[in-house]
Amino acid sequence: MTLRLRLLLGVPLAVLTVVVLCACGASGGLDAGEPAPPVSVQPSPKPLWPGWSGTTPSAPGAETATKLPPPEPLDGLGELGPGGLARLDVRELLRADPRLRTLADRPMIDKPGRSGIRPPVLVDLSGDGRPELLLAIDLESGRSAVVVYAERGGKVYPVLFTAGKRIAVEVLGTDLLVRSPCADGGEQAVRYHWDGKRMSTVSDTKSYRKPDRSPGHGGDSPSPRPSSTPSSEPSSVPPSTPSSTPSARPGTRS
């Protein structure tokens, strides 16, 4: 074989060797001395009304966001000023909401055990930097109504309504988590997310605790199986007559 032929055959082999070496160096891992990327911390649920975190049986009802028209602003409220929802009178707001106006004269309460209106909470659920207003009203029957209001263009829009038996309300990032034990021993957890118009349901699951199989605790009895069956039809707040002699004066603007 002549020297020229050997050189021609040697060029592809050299090129192939360079390509293989480059491919080996372009791995998906970290190079020596390169710092690892930061780990993203997942948000954990934070109760909005810690005193009401305990729950009793009955699943919460929730509006189904699908096939619903866009929410309409509440009538009877003038345009909000610079203070927005934070300076809005709670009872004035409830009187403007047809679903809750009969509850507007309930007393303000700061702990569980009584019927009345819990302290309002401001939370940014839409992620636009403008907080939404959350109200919860506890009834004598043990049921509670939770409603979320949003302010857009100086007007107030109801963007979520749910009710249930002593429900626990938590915030998970910008999502809202509503939990309540069910009558069959399970716990229902409904998660809501801002869809651009309202807080809509993104998950609705039911779970069961594992039974105590230690001696003396019915260890031989069959255990219920976990379930993720969605809840039944939404429930509504039962008719209620407002207190004739409320124990608190109407809320004032802060």
| DSSP secondary structure, 26-58, as one string | --SSPPTTPPPPPPPPPP--EESSGGG----SS
**How far is the CA of 241 from the CAs of 12, 101, 228, in angstroms?**
91, 10, 36
What pLDDT sits at residue 41?
A: 59
The pLDDT tens digits of the residues spanning 209-236 come to: 765 565 655 544 444 444 444 433 333 3
Q: Residue 169: exposed, middle, or buried by beta-carbon count in 10 A (0-12, 13-18, 19+)?
A: buried
Phi, psi of 65 (to 5 degrees): -70, -25
Per DSSP (E only), the strands in the chain are 46-47, 61-62, 116-117, 121-123, 132-138, 143-152, 155-165, 168-172, 175-181, 187-194, 199-207
The pLDDT tens digits of the residues spanning 157-174 come to: 999 999 998 789 999 999
- 48 bridge partner residues: none
| Rg of the chain (C-alpha set) | 29
What pLDDT sits at residue 25?
A: 42
The structure's pTM equals 0.61
Report, as ranges of residue numbers, the positions in the chain whose pLDDT lies below 50.
Answer: 3, 5-9, 11, 13-29, 55-62, 64-65, 219-254
Q: Residue 243: exposed, middle, or buried by beta-carbon count in 10 A (0-12, 13-18, 19+)?
A: middle
